[in-house]
Amino acid sequence: MHGRLLDTNAVIALQRGEAALIRMLDKEEAEWYLSATVLGELYYGAYRSTRVEDNVAVVDAISQGVVILPIDEHTARLFGEIHQQLRAKGTPIPENDIWIAATAKQYTLTVVTRDDHFSHVEGLMTATWVE
């Protein structure tokens, strides 16, 4: 599989219409995906907002327009491996981001993110944009 796995901050940037990210994704003509973890983070943000119903509807719409990659046994194994590698190097990152990294590695995808800490994950391809 070739393409991009959007981190939560990339999805939010797309919702805001950040031109640099849109140009980057259009230019590359690569397929883009979401992980189940990112979808969960988006729903969490919607449920903790003051406009729950509206924001849940937005996340529902996002989830209908893109392939959501599930977490399975292979993802879990990669999660454990990445988590231990980061711990051994003394460079921990948020656990949800380890799940996102594991999903990206499982499907050989590039993580589109503004979070620098993904650079600590060995062999993970990342891309960012500048607005």
Provide mean pLDDT across the span 101-118: 97
Q: How many domains does the chain have?
A: 1
User: What is the CATH classification number for the domain harbouring 14?
Assistant: 3.40.50.1010
CA distances from 68 to 20, 86, 129 (A): 24, 26, 22
For the chain, the straight-line distance linking the first and the last C-alpha, in angstroms and rounded, comes to 28
**Tokens 């969490």 found at:** 44
33-90 pLDDT, tens digit per residue, is: 999 999 999 999 999 999 999 999 999 999 998 999 999 999 999 999 999 999 999 9
- Model confidence pLDDT, tens digit, residues 111-124: 999 999 999 999 99
pTM of the predicted model, to two decimals? 0.93
Range(s) of the domain holding residue 111: 3-127
113 DSSP assignment: -
Q: Give the DSSP H or E segment for 103.
A: helix 95-106
Residue type at 90 in one-letter notation? G
β-strand pairing of 31-35 with 110-112: unpaired
Angle between helices 36-47 and 95-106 in degrees, nearest 10: 140
Please identify which residue in the block is written with the tokens 């607005």: 131
Question: Do residues 33 and 4 lie in contact, with contact meaning Cβ atoms separated by under 8 Å?
Answer: yes
pLDDT at 108 over 70: yes
Rounded to whole angstroms, the Cα distance separating 27 from 22 reads: 8
Pairwise CA distance, residues 61 & 129, whole Å? 24
